[in-house]
Chains A and B, each alone.
Chain A
Amino acid sequence: MALVSLLSSEGAGGVRWNQGDAQTPSQGVISPTHFPPKAKRVIWLYMAGGMSHLDTFDHKPKLEEMNGQPMPESVTAGQQIAQLQGQKLNCFAPQHPFKKWGESGQSLSTIWPELATHCADEMCVVRSMFTEAINHDPAHTFMNTGNMVTGRPAMGSWLLYGLGSETQNLPGFVVMVSTGKFGQKQPIAARQWHSGFLPSRFQGVEFRSQGDPVLYVKNPKGVDHVRQREIVDAINAMNQLQQDATSDPEIATRIAQYEMAFRMQSSVPELMDVKDEPQHILDMYGTQGGDGTFGSNCLLARRLAERGTRFIQLYHRDWDHHGSIKSHVAGTAAEVDRGVSALIQDLKQRDMLDDTIIVFGSEFGRTPMAQGSGRDHHLAGFTMWMAGGGFKGGMSYGATDDLGYHAAVDRVSVHDLHATLLHQLGIDHARFSVKFQGLDSRLTGVEPARVVTELLS
């Protein structure tokens, strides 16, 4: 870094240009925050495809009793159903046993041995989530942007816009995708981390596990760090002259982006290279690094968090279990279990869990009814959980009905979740809006949303 700061103080040809605050965090529009923030960043572990709440975090003994019997019509009448439409709706028992874990006695499925053993008392489990979309793509879009209609900013973009970035060497909003072996590999469209109507510099950047970690992040052949720096300096000096001559605000952005790009050229490889991690840490995450697994991405998430990235989203693209759910849900959980458990423990031992919110969950849940040997998409009730960032550990909140169908007690909407997350970051969701198409557009939409204070310590 020293080299960078040295060289960037003066451009090629001795021309100085406005560097902005290259080494200091950029400010967001909410400064100061509406109230003192409890957390600085979010790591969202996104179980893409629709994790079954019934086989993982929401134990329903009654469903076991009624296995194979028709789902009472009173439960399903008038409900939106995806692929099971027009078919027999029979109860389908939880496919794995549940146990009580930790001092709190958190009820979790036995398919999470690591998480349950080490983190049950850190988890704040919400069992009464519901959403509005029953197919993956719109449900992802709703979960990420608060709206099913495309073109709205993802939450990460909102946060960068509102709070600014704490790193000028790495993107403030990073996405990584891992793919497992069991479900249908549902695609994840890049629009899930798009900045929508906010300026594109707030867009999420995908980090890859193969090839250049960020496309074109490597210098051309025969160009070393110093040569590249000189070129970037010249480009920026020239652009600065243009800006002086034209007052085009895009040029200032362009200059900032070249600075950012140049810094990324060293900071990204440095981030991705985990050789400075001790063996016991690698073992804890169950990775040697760089293998593109969920565990590897969890380790990188911690490294990003340490370096100030505001919003980190890890997709694990493997949870769409329309069939063979018994083996598949266990298999997919095993792909995720060690990584998430390691991440929580690791952040904790670094005193970072307090100001980092871990969010874990899917775009929706799965039906208590069987679809062959699997379960269909389900929007009426599902589970998400948080850890750290001022959320109460070892607690659970809300409940679905006896059969796990409807969020029945203390219902929490996706907008409520967003409002609560924003609150922990110091933002009053109702006061955080951007004019769009003549409306005050919010992450939490137009209907009232509630900060679920019961979850907060």
Chain B
Amino acid sequence: MLRDRQLCLWGVIALVHYATTPGFAEESARFNRDIRPLLSDHCYACHGPDANQREADLRLDTEQGLASVTKAGDLDESLLFHHVTSTVEDEQMPPADFGKPLSEEQISKLARWIQAGAQWQGHWSFQPISQEPLPSVKPPTPVSGLFVRNDIDVFTLREMILNHQSPSRAADRRTLIRRLSFDLTGLPPSSERVKAFEEDARADAYERLVDELLESPHYGERMAMWWLDLVRYADTVGYHGDQNVSVSPYRDYVIESFNSNKRFDQFTIEQLAGDLLPEPTQEQLIASGYNRLGMMSAEGGVQPKEYLAKYIAERVRNLGGTWLGATLGCCECHDHKYDPFTMEDFYSFEAFFADIEERGLYAGANQTGNWGPKIEVPTHEQTGKMEALNQAILETEQLLRTSTPQLETAQRAWEAQLPLWQTLTAVEQVSLAGASLEPKEDGSIFVQGKNPTTDTYRLTYDQIPSGMTAIRIDVIPDPALPAQGSGRAGNGNFVLTELILRKFDAQGREVGRLQLQNPTATYEQTGAADANPYKKWSIASAIDGDVKGQDWGWAVMEKSTEPQAAIIELVQDLTLAEGESVNVELVQNHGQHTIGRFRISATAANRPLQANQFPSDLAALLAIPRDQRNETDRAKISEHYRNIAPELAPVRESLADLNQQRKALQESIVTTLVTRTVEPRMVRVLPRGNWMDESGNPVSPSFPQFLNVSYTPATSRMSRLDLAQWVVHSENPLTSRVVTNRLWKLLFGRGLSPRLDDLGAQGALPSHPELLDFLALQLIDSGWDVRAMIKMMVMSGTYRQSSLVESEQLAKDPENHWLTRQARYRLDAEMIRDNALAISGLLVRDVGGTSVKPYQPAGYWAYLNFPTRQWKSGQGDDLYRRGLYVHWQRQYLHPSLLAFDAPSREECTADRSRSNTPLQSLVLLNDPTFVEAARVFAQRVLTNGDGDDAERLQWAFEQALHRHPTAEEAEILLSLLRRQLEGYKANQNAAQELASVGDYPSAADLNPAEFAAWISVCRALLNLHETITRN
């Protein structure tokens, strides 16, 4: 503390020194900073862009116009200066009746600018980043060791002096560690770490802390929160049904990139064009998922061309938003109104993305989850497991393939007891409805020609096995049938509604209908069976005499492309005497569902006879006597036998188990969208952005010329790789400024140029343009070392200032334009959650992984559709992960994140708003996540905090705020404790209810009323403005 006060004192001395140093305050005026705003305010109304209001045909908003009234270094020859200093009524500018005279100071600025060369500057952010010398006057020691900690402070202090401001004293250590922890990791410090820092007497204690935090794995998480807003990372597709899409490996990539301090240029290249790098690594492919993070649609009725136009245009907007700080969106329909970007530039940017494989309409993706190119991203562990499983499966299969003498003996015994099926050959086959039944060589019958609504196939046989016990109907899929099924319905299905067998005597008179029993089939259709009295399309309904309706029968829809068979026993053995015959009638009364190919066979084997003993093709093979079978036939039969051999049952079980394991493992492997390059499609300028208008010129990839980047592509048609390299080219005036400005915002609450999304003409001039350029150049020269840049910023004296401000100063500089203090602002949405969980001790600090689902109000997703969804909260650790891992539903973002201004990430978000609303209070007061955090916090207070209530409170207070409560504060909270205790003593049920909020186990041995009262105190602590404020 003493040191801080000293610093303040020295600061004052330094200021005096600065202000009195000759040449410092008299610094030359700069056009963009000093002159352009002045001319704009006082002159442009009559001498500006508006041709209708222009006087004397003079423009002061163009280089040429201004040159016509100024002469470098010569005030007397500068007409402009003559007029602004004239007292002659006709000459005086601005005219007296304009009512906006120039002040002495403004005139003096003009004079200095003319004397220094009257140099014109184009829009600041489009100019090359200038090599900024440090302000010429270096502060003398010992001041340089106090406020001025590094070069940043030399810039800020100079501006303060020039503007009659002074810096604040440095913040105390508990503020600094809290600030640094939130800024660099998004998490509060532990109270132990705060204590250690406060007691650390080493000269470099602060720097050690900074290094420690920058090395923390949570640094990458904190930076990812920032980056994911820019690149519009979300877990759903955004349009229409807003279905889930798996991209979490991309989030892990971002976290890891920051944690490994990947060069920012490399980081950029991998995202825009990782797939185009030579032999891309899995990491680079995951990074290329950046191009696939935009919204997508599976809405039927979408016109693919329109949506392809939407997707590609959004990529250009995101490129502009993420890297260039340019609002390119308006150029989709017209040239930029304020910046030199043209429509042609916009579509030329689009052309870079024209090679990305994608579909305008992801038809069916709401069911299949197929959102285009993706890769599997197994963990190290999963890869190992998969290899082991594959090996085990291979070995087990090998066992099943290997014949042994014992097996062969067993097979013979098995075959000997098999029923023998004999394919029947009909003496006559007719279709009663006029289709054509054509016998095939394999004994089957193929149906073609007329496809009647209903039909009956009648087949007449005079040769059957003697003592026939059963009939078998095989249905055989055929490539010539619809959907390559076995039926003639459009989907390859059929319905056999009734099977009738009639016996005829030698005179051709019907003797009677044969009684049937015990029908079985290899498969019975279960789909579309709601109204079916059998609840499936059962073979039983084909021998029921149609008592339950003639529409029902045997069908196989789901498996109509596989051979199927039905076996029906005769109640009595059948033998035909000479001349006798039997008719088999296949009745098919279900509209437009007749059989396409089938075979009828019969057996005299002993009952019972089951259909699912073996496949139909095998039946044919088995009918061949053993000694006549060829090699292939034999192999097939033994293979089948090994699949049913009781001796091999344990092996088969183990194989099934292994396959099941592999399937489960496969399903647990996370996938992620990646970019896959294809032949680029043609991109045209779309007049007024109208995707249907094809009159615009085709364009190829190219860069806006006005940015003057001397980039030479290696190939004639440039690619995304060229684009990425151009973005991070050292001459690109935008990228480095944009990134630096945003990093500054992360640490100071506000950019040096406050409009983070737009460094163009509609943006805002930086408060410290030289500093911004100095740092931007530093970023490039350091090899795009983001961590070094952040370290430099937080090491500065400017960063370390206190955020406390006198109301007088607040009124003078409400926005802290001159950086004379640090900022106080509310934590970001994710951090508010993280902070509460951290304080309670619930926070699970795992890094990375798929998204999680904390508690969410029921019905919040009621308006989602295609498909409808219900939120299912996670369990265990998943409930306590950091906010950045919460499932990001674009249309219905988790309401606690939404309330604290987390964006929907439909588009690039460079600058979240920071609101203060009653809905936020409701979240902190009532969201079960925060109530549970308070409960678990209270458990810690009661189990960890020793002593009486006052001591416990002190402990709790330090956990939440890292400081001691004042006496007044302690009294407020102790009084709350007493009141609540009284209340809950009188209502133990309520106390128990409160103690049961959330899944986390309750400490059983606590006094309920006391516990509840402490939960209330902890709720109050978690709700404090100070708790959710970084200062």
Contact = CB atoms under 8 A, between A and B. Distances in A.
Given A13-B971, A258-B921, A231 B996 contact: no
Contact of B976 (A215, A234, A242): A234
A324 to B, nearest CB: 14
Contacts of B806: 247
A115 B1025 CA distance: 50
Given A230-B976, A257-B916, A238 B1020 contact: yes
Contact of B916 (A171, A201, A221): A201
A370 interface: no
Given A85-B692, A211-B857, A232-B925, A223 B1020 contact: no
Interface stretch (A36-44, A248-256, A346-354): A248-256
A230 B979 CA distance: 8
Contact of A235 (B865, B987, B1024): B1024
Contacts of B922: 214-217, 261, 264-265
Contacts of B449: none
A231 B1019 contact: yes
B860 A215 contact: yes
Contact of A187 (B826, B862, B891, B983): B891
A377 to B, nearest CB: 14
A228 B983 CA distance: 11
A203 B917 contact: yes
Nearest to B239: A187
A253 B918 contact: no
Contact of B926 (A205, A220, A226): A220
Contacts of B997: 220-222
A212 interface: yes
B442 interface: no
A218 B804 CA distance: 36
B742 to A, nearest CB: 19
A221 B996 contact: yes
A200 B979 contact: no
Contacts of B918: 171, 201, 205, 257-258, 260-261, 264
Contacts of A231: 925, 976, 980, 1016, 1019-1020, 1023
A85 B899 CA distance: 41
Contacts of A246: 804-805, 824, 1031
B895 A216 contact: yes
B968 A15 contact: yes
Contacts of A257: 916-918, 920-921
A14 interface: yes
Contact of A223 (B863, B917, B990, B1023): B990
Given A211-B860, A234-B973, A222 B921 contact: no
B805 A220 contact: no
B473 interface: no
Given A211-B858, A261-B925, A235 B991 contact: no
A219 interface: yes
A210 interface: yes
Contacts of B983: 224, 226-227, 230
A237 interface: yes
Contact of A200 (B862, B916, B990, B996): B916
B836 to A, nearest CB: 14
A234 B1025 CA distance: 12
Contacts of A201: 915-918
B972 A11 contact: yes
B913 interface: yes
Contacts of B692: 85-86
Interface string B143-184: 000000000000000000000000000000000000000000
A205 B994 contact: no
B375 interface: no
Contacts of A223: 990, 994, 1016
B762 interface: yes
17 contacts: A200-B915, A214-B919, A220-B931, A220-B997, A221-B994, A221-B997, A222-B996, A227-B990, A230-B976, A233-B976, A234-B973, A235-B1023, A238-B969, A241-B966, A258-B918, A260-B921, A261-B921
Interface of A: 11-15, 85-86, 171, 179, 185, 187, 199-201, 203, 205, 208, 210-212, 214-224, 226-228, 230-235, 237-239, 241-242, 246-248, 250-251, 253-254, 257-258, 260-262, 264-265, 437
Given A200-B913, A248-B824, 11 more contacts: A200-B901, A200-B915, A215-B860, A216-B895, A218-B926, A220-B926, A220-B931, A222-B996, A239-B1026, A246-B805, A261-B918
4 closest A-B pairs by beta carbon, nearest first, are A200-B915, A222-B994, A222-B993, A261-B921
